[in-house]
Structure 1
Amino acid sequence: MSQRFRATASLRDRSALLPEYTTPPSSGRSSPFQLQPSGQRFADDLEGQNDEHLEGLTAKVKLLKDITIGIGNEVRESTVQLRQMNDAFSETSGILAGTFRRMNNMAARQGCRWLWYIVFLIIVFWFFIILPEELDQAHYS
């Protein structure tokens, strides 16, 4: 950016661009903008500050670009994982549907006997797993 400024404005034109800074302030106080009569020093300082700001902005833009690229990569990886999970769930859904269909067929052939098996399994589950945990909690209370 400063190269364009240098290309379009010569050294003697710089003081014409900033005429108010070529003379000291009328208050008599010292100012950081007191310059040589030509104003060249102030213009050079401004160019240096502009270059520093430009470098800072360039670094911030690069950082934002890197963050955006990282977000894009993460989105692509997440999309692949979600697609794989969707396929796995679809496959599991098909397996479960087949299992329930076979279980219903078996239940229809067995009549009421399968209901007694389920009740028996629930009682065994309750007797060996849930009941001891309840007794332990009551013992420690």
Structure 2
Amino acid sequence: MRRTNYSYQPLPQNPGPSRLNQDSLEEENERAAAELQQKIGALKSLTIDIGNEVRYQDKLVRGIDDDMDRTGGFLGTTMTRVIRLGKHGGTKHMCYMFLFVLFVFFLLYVVIKLK
């Protein structure tokens, strides 16, 4: 069965934003994109600076590590010599070493007090 009195009427369409409104939205988007690009550039510069600082600090830490290794080896050799001297040198050498240590401490005390 057909309806003969039915007439089709499309829904009223919402008129889109005017051209002026679209232009202002595009300008706002371009401004936001430019600001974002500036912020990205600043972040890139900052990360490059952080990377350079990390490499510099790593170089310093490796240098300190090498210095500590050398100092540890020197101290180990010195301690071995002191122990050997203590075992085979007798009391005469130990007395001289004790007097020398006292003299160094006294000298340091005087230098610190005079400052």
Distance 1:131 1:65 in 2: 55
Matched letter for residue 26 of structure 2: E
- Aligned match of 1:68: 47
In terms of mean alpha carbon deviation, does 106-115 or 122-131 score higher?
122-131
Matched letter for residue 81 of structure 2: R
Higher relative contact order (CA 8 A, sep 6+): 1
Distance 1:92 1:132 in 2: 26
Distance 1:79 1:129, change over 3 A: closer
**Which 4+ residue blocks in structure 1 deviate beyond 6 angstroms?**
none
Which whole-Å deviations, capped at 9, do the CAs of 1:67-114 have from their partners, x for residues lacking one?
Answer: 011111211222222222212211221121111111211221112223
Cα RMSD (Å): 2.5
Distance 1:123 1:80, change over 3 A: closer
Is residue 19 of structure 2 the alignment partner of residue 40 of structure 1?
yes
- Aligned match of 1:83: 62
Q: How many percent of aligned residue pairs carry the same amino acid?
A: 26
Distance 1:131 1:114, change over 3 A: same
Gaps of 5+ in 1: 1-14, 19-38, 137-141
Which whole-Å deviations, capped at 9, do the CAs of 1:27-72 have from their partners, x for residues lacking one?
Answer: xxxxxxxxxxxx2112111111111111011100110111011111
The alignment's TM-score, normalised by the length of structure 1, stands at 0.59
- Aligned match of 1:121: 100
- Give the count of matched residue pairs: 101
